[in-house]
Amino acid sequence: MHELSLITETLAIALRNAEAENAQQIHRLTMAIGAASGVVPDALQFAFDVAIQGTIAENAELAIETIPVTCQCPQCQTQFSPPDWIYECPTCQTLVSQTLTGREIQLKSLEVS
């Protein structure tokens, strides 16, 4: 249920930026959500529909771009996209902890007028 907290913060950032740009309306928010971020896009969408009521984003659309997980093997430097939650290097079978991408929770852009 932290999607509601996340959307509240996202909307706060959006409204601050829209206001700074003298925009009267926000038409679209685009978020980038990593596949390993723990965020459920449907829950985010649901929370968004509630949170925008009574704001200049009232009729806005939420677009969610999913960022796949990529890793780099610390042993052999192979870059790979793991097929599941176990990040095993396809070249040397080392188990990898770190990710290069896939944990993002970002507000990418706004369409305003």
Partner 1 sequence: MCGTCGCVSENGVTILTPDHSHHHGHRDDHNPDHTHHHGHTHSHDPQHTHTPTLPRTLDLTQSVLAKNDRLAERNRGYFLAKNLLVLNVISSPGSGKTTLLQATAQNVGLSCGVVVGDLETDNDAQRFRAGGIPSIQITTGTLCHLEADMVLTAAQHLNLDALQLLIIENVGNLVCPAAYDLGETLRVVLLSTTEGEDKPLKYPTLFKSADVVLLTKLDIAEAVGFDEATALANVQAINPTASIFPVSAKTGLGMAAWYDCLQDYRAGIGDPS
The sign of the torsion formed by the CA atoms of 14, 17, 19, 25 equals negative
**Of residues 25-84, which lie at the interface with Zn ion (CB under 5 A)?**
73, 75-76, 78
Q: Residue 85: which of Zn ion, partner 1, none does it interact with, CB under 5 to 8 A by kind?
A: partner 1
Residue of 71, 64, 75, 63 whose CA lies nearest to 102: 71
Structure tokens at 61: 């659309």
Does 70 help bind partner 1 (rule: CB under 8 A)?
A: no
Q: Are 92 and 108 in contact (CB under 8 A)?
A: no
Q: Residue 70: which of partner 1, Zn ion, none does it interact with, CB under 5 to 8 A by kind?
A: none
Does 53 help bind partner 1 (rule: CB under 8 A)?
A: no
Does 105 help bind partner 1 (rule: CB under 8 A)?
A: yes
End-to-end CA distance of the chain: 31
Does 64 help bind partner 1 (rule: CB under 8 A)?
A: no
User: Segment contacting partner 1 (CB under 8 A): 10-18, 46-54, 58-66?
Assistant: 10-18
